[in-house]
Every structure is written in C-alpha cells, then in structure tokens.
Amino acid sequence: MTLPRFYPVFDSADWVVRAVPLGVRLVQLRIKERQDDDLRAEIQTALACCRQHGAALVINDHWQLAIELGADWLHLGQEDLDTADIAAIRRAGLKLGVSTHDHTELDRALALAPEYIALGPVYPTILKKMKWTEQGLDRLTEWKGLVGDIPLCAIGGMSVERAAGAYAAGADMVAAVTDITLNADPDTRIRAWLKAAA
C-alpha cells in the first residue's frame, strides 16, 4: 500500500477542513479529553471533508467511535493497545497504524500486521511530555530494516527542513504537528510540506 508521504496531525476538525483542500491526502484527528458527543461531531465533520476530497482520515485513540462512525483508519499507541479490541477493529474493516519507541513495542506492533508503524520521537517534541529521548535518523534506518514492506512513519519534532533527512533515512511518511500549528502562516507551511514530500 502506498501512503502519502506527508501526514499532518491535528487536534480539531477545523484544522482538517483547512488542510485537506490544500492537498493533504492523509491526516490524523488527535483530540484528547473531550466528551463523546463533541468527539462524534468532530469526527463526522472531518470524515465528511476527507471523503469529499478523497483524503484518508486517521482517528487517534478513539477506536469505539471510529467503529461506530464508520471511519477507515485508526492510530493506536501501546497504552491504547492494552484496552483496544483489535478483533472488533479489524472486523469493522479499520486500517491500523501503531506507535513504537523500542524493540519490545515494535515486536508487539509487528504481531498486529498494521498498515503502518510509527517511530518517535525522531527529534525532541514540545507537543507532549515523553519518557523517550530523541531516536535520531540512524534509528529510523534500523526500523526500516525491521519493518520491511510495512510503511514507516517518522514523528516527533519533524519540520519541513528535517523531512528530507527522515525520508533518506528510511521513513516512508513524515508526521508533524507543531511545525504547522504553531507556524505564523500554517497554509504556506502546509504547501511547503507538500512540496518537500513530493
């Protein structure tokens, strides 16, 4: 499966609706600590926009809502895997991305035969506090050797300027949050990402 090489991650449907018409074709909705009704509305808006533009929407964490709302993609981290019903997720036809940070997590992810595997944080991130220090580009190359044909996503501190290095090191996709959302001109930054990923 060939996935788009640029994979922005946003915390609202508003961001999805802003980014997708610019040409983004793979996007994650990552919303934390919200009531189910709010989440449902955000997911439905983002799904409608992505479907209208032929883009793929990945729902982070909320696997029950992803099933209920007929989403196509889901991203789960290792803690999410502790409680997720993988059989139900697969029965619903959801495609799956899984986060990894070390070899034990990678083995667990590979056993699920996911549609992509993410490695992070490649560089330090300001988005969230993590127990992992930066993995670096050599680690991406090692991971690509281990995941084989499964698409590998680099995440954590990624920027337009760092993207080429990540692709050269073995990443098939690069995910980013604050490089876009904290940029003074997010639309121009998204266009620069699309160019860097082309």
Ligand X SMILES: Cc1ncc(COP(=O)(O)OP(=O)(O)O)c(N)n1
Give, rounded to a whole angstrom, the gap between the first and last alpha carbons of the chain: 17
Least spacing, CB of residue 78 vs ligand X, in Å: 6
Residue 121, interface with ligand X (CB under 6 A)? no
Pick from ligand X, Mg ion, ligand 3NM, none: which does 153 bind, CB < 5 to 8 A by kind? ligand X
- Cβ 162 vs Cβ 121: under 8 Å: no
From the list 13, 26, 39, 158, which residue makes contact with ligand 3NM (rule: CB under 6 A)? 158
Instruction: Give the total of residues touching ligand 3NM (CB under 6 A).
Output: 14
Residue whose beta carbon is closest to ligand X: 77
Residue 125, interface with ligand X (CB under 6 A)? no
Least spacing, CB of residue 101 vs ligand 3NM, in Å: 6
User: Rounded to 5 degrees, what are φ and ψ at 181?
Assistant: -70, -25
Pick from Mg ion, ligand 3NM, ligand X, none: which does 129 bind, CB < 5 to 8 A by kind? none
Contact mark string toward ligand X, 49..78, x via CB under 6 A: -----------xx-------------x-x-
> Measured between alpha carbons, how far is residue 103 from residues 72, 79, 100, 143 in Å?
28, 15, 8, 9
Can you read off the two tokens belonging to residue 100? 């990894």
Q: Closest Cα partner for 4 from 153, 159, 178, 191?
A: 153
Contact residues: ligand X, CB under 6 A: 9, 28, 30, 60-61, 75, 77, 80, 97, 99, 118, 120, 128, 153, 155, 175
Contact residues: ligand 3NM, CB under 6 A: 99, 120-121, 125, 127-128, 155-158, 176-179
